[in-house]
Amino acid sequence: MKSRLAAPLVAFLAPLLLYGGALVSQYGFGLHPCEMCYWQRWPHQAAIVLALLALLLRRNDKAMRALTLLAAAAIAVSGAIGVFHAGVEYGFWEGITTCATGSGGPVTLESIMDAPLVRCDAVQWSLFGISLAGFNAIFSFGAAALVLTLLRRGSTSAA
């Protein structure tokens, strides 16, 4: 693999894996997302699209680098939302006051009443005292830093 493609490839795979992990935890393990969990997914979705475009436009170095940089920024935004969400979960600060359901289908009164009510300040799962929001923050910031490092190295190496 050429070193200049490493950054957009990581910018594509990292949010794809993080977003995929969120979907597996939701549909495979029954961990219903709260409103802030959904907020963390949007930047990952944007990063996936941006990085895919960067890979498709790899012949245009400026476009590829700009799109990869935007993907890294989107990944970092998800990490920042993860920090905010983890702070709410640990009681460091107040979160949003509304609650959301894990419903993804058509919205009917019956579906609203049957959907689980998920609070943003309740940790559903943790490992070593770190919630899923905390792990998203750690992995997202790590991935964004790696993408930026690879971008910088790709610009200084011979193509």
Q: What would the pLDDT profile of 108-120 be if each residue is shown by its tens digit? A: 777 666 666 777 6
pLDDT grade for 32, boundaries at 50, 70 and 90: confident
For the chain, what are the domain ranges?
Answer: 3-156
pLDDT tier for residue 94 given thresholds of 50, 70 and 90: confident
Between the alpha carbon of residue 113 and those of residues 31, 77, 101, the distances in Å are: 18, 32, 9
Q: How many CA atoms lie within 13 A of 97 on its CB side?
A: 0
Q: Positive or negative CA dihedral for 23, 45, 89, 113? A: negative
**Predicted local distance difference test score (pLDDT) of residue 33:** 84
Q: Which two tokens stand for residue 93?
A: 């600060």
- The backbone torsions φ and ψ at residue 100, rounded to the nearest 5 degrees and listed phi first, read -130, 160
pLDDT at 98 over 70: no
Q: What is the pLDDT of residues 122-156, one digit of tens each?
A: 767 767 987 888 899 999 999 999 999 999 887 54
- Enumerate residues 6+ apart whose C-beta is below 8 A from 6: 150, 153, 154
Can you give the pLDDT at residue 111?
64
Dihedral class, residue 47 (left if φ above 0, else alpha if ψ from -120 to 50, else beta): alpha
pLDDT of 140 reads: 97
